[in-house]
Amino acid sequence: MQTLFITGGNRGIGLELVKQSLKNKDAILATYRGDTPPELPLTQDEKNRLTWLRLDVTNATDLARLPDVLANQHIDILINNAGVIGPDRQSYNDMDTQGWLHTFEVNTIAPLMVTNALLKNLSLSSSPRVVTVSSQMGALHRESTGMIAYRSSKAAINKVMQVLSLELKAQKIVVCPVHPGWVQTDMGGSEADITAEQSASGILLLAHRLTMQDSGKFFTWEGKEHVW
Ligand SMILES: NC(=O)c1ccc[n+]([C@@H]2O[C@H](COP(=O)([O-])OP(=O)(O)OC[C@H]3O[C@@H](n4cnc5c(N)ncnc54)[C@H](OP(=O)(O)O)[C@@H]3O)[C@@H](O)[C@H]2O)c1
């Protein structure tokens, strides 16, 4: 049984990661930031393996509390999933700059800060892995217009995770960003290519098989290497 920590576990891809990890018989620490976590029809065994934690990934107080809350709980796989699409106005000639900054706070800065807050817990695992849900929209080799706040935040998180993979090499912590596909969620919309079930299933297969040799690589939800 592996122990996963999943941010933004209350809906979308994150909720599917939680549900499928429960089916996989793993233990899950999942975060939400609303008043209450989602109500799921769970068996007693599933209830025993799922813990909900209230966490706004941009909130320094919430993050500072994590080490005390988790104490000596080991974490095998951290999935930095929480993310935002960014402000309505994010084109080159009409930019909501406060919204752009917030997008960076959630999509770029928070995954590093969450990882830092959990380093001790990750180090208690025999095979610690950090998977950060990024996006092909941040890949530098792709040429597309618009969505500057979102694209730049995901391009930046790719770089952050590549650097982090080198920083954490000595501690044998695997670090990889992953593109989850274009997914039917509130963010991806109903016209998207794949369901949250398909995306989560691929991300989990990948997360479970990652080794140090994969660290610092950018992957697709299908487990293939992604061009940066
Ligand atoms: N859907 C796609 O097609 C697609 C494509 C490429 C990449 N992605 C990435 O995949 C990840 C999940 O996306 P999704 O499609 O599942 O989006 P979603 O349905 O909009 O869900 C986003 C999740 O992130 C959480 N979140 C946002 N800001 C947060 C904060 N400050 N603190 C804690 N949690 C926060 C949300 O919590 P609340 O419910 O409290 O808002 C929610 O659980 C994101 O990183 C996204 O950028 C998605």
Q: Is residue 26 within 8 Å of 1, Cβ to Cβ?
A: yes
The answer to whether residue 199 sits within a structural domain is yes
What is the residue range of 78's domain? 3-220
pLDDT tens across 78-120, in order?
999 999 999 999 999 999 999 999 999 999 999 999 999 999 9
CATH number at residue 213: 3.40.50.720
Q: Is residue 203 within 8 Å of 79, Cβ to Cβ?
A: yes
- Kind and range of the H or E element at 3? strand 3-6
- Kind and range of the H or E element at 221? none
What confidence tier does 123 reach under pLDDT thresholds 50, 70, 90? very high
The answer to whether residue 22 sits within a structural domain is yes
The answer to whether residue 225 sits within a structural domain is no
In the predicted model, what is the mean pLDDT of residues 127-143?
Answer: 96
The closest-lying atom of ligand 1 relative to the alpha carbon of residue 33 is 40
Mean pLDDT of the chain: 97
Q: Is 221 in the pocket of ligand 1 (CB under 6 A)?
A: no
- Kind and range of the H or E element at 4? strand 3-6
Identity of the amino acid at 200 = A
Percent of the chain with pLDDT strictly greater than 70: 100
The answer to whether residue 153 sits within a structural domain is yes
What confidence tier does 130 reach under pLDDT thresholds 50, 70, 90? very high
In the reported structure, the alpha carbon of residue 162 is separated from the centroid of ligand 1 by a whole-number distance in angstroms of 21
Residue 92's pLDDT is 97
In the predicted model, what is the mean pLDDT of residues 61-67?
Answer: 94
The closest-lying atom of ligand 1 relative to the alpha carbon of residue 55 is 33
Total tally of structural domains belonging to the chain: 1
C-alpha dihedral (205, 206, 211, 212), degrees to nearest 10: -160
Residue 2's pLDDT is 97
The answer to whether residue 65 sits within a structural domain is yes
Residue 150's pLDDT is 98
The answer to whether residue 175 sits within a structural domain is yes
Output the six-digit token pair for 225.
């290497």
The answer to whether residue 212 sits within a structural domain is yes
Q: Is 138 in the pocket of ligand 1 (CB under 6 A)?
A: no
Tally the residues of the chain. Answer: 228
Quick one: how far is CA 115 from the chain centroid?
Answer: 10
Residue 205's pLDDT is 98
What confidence tier does 179 reach under pLDDT thresholds 50, 70, 90? very high
In the reported structure, the alpha carbon of residue 21 is separated from the centroid of ligand 1 by a whole-number distance in angstroms of 18
Residue 171's pLDDT is 97
In the predicted model, what is the mean pLDDT of residues 208-217?
Answer: 98
Q: Is residue 126 within 8 Å of 175, Cβ to Cβ?
A: no
The answer to whether residue 144 sits within a structural domain is yes
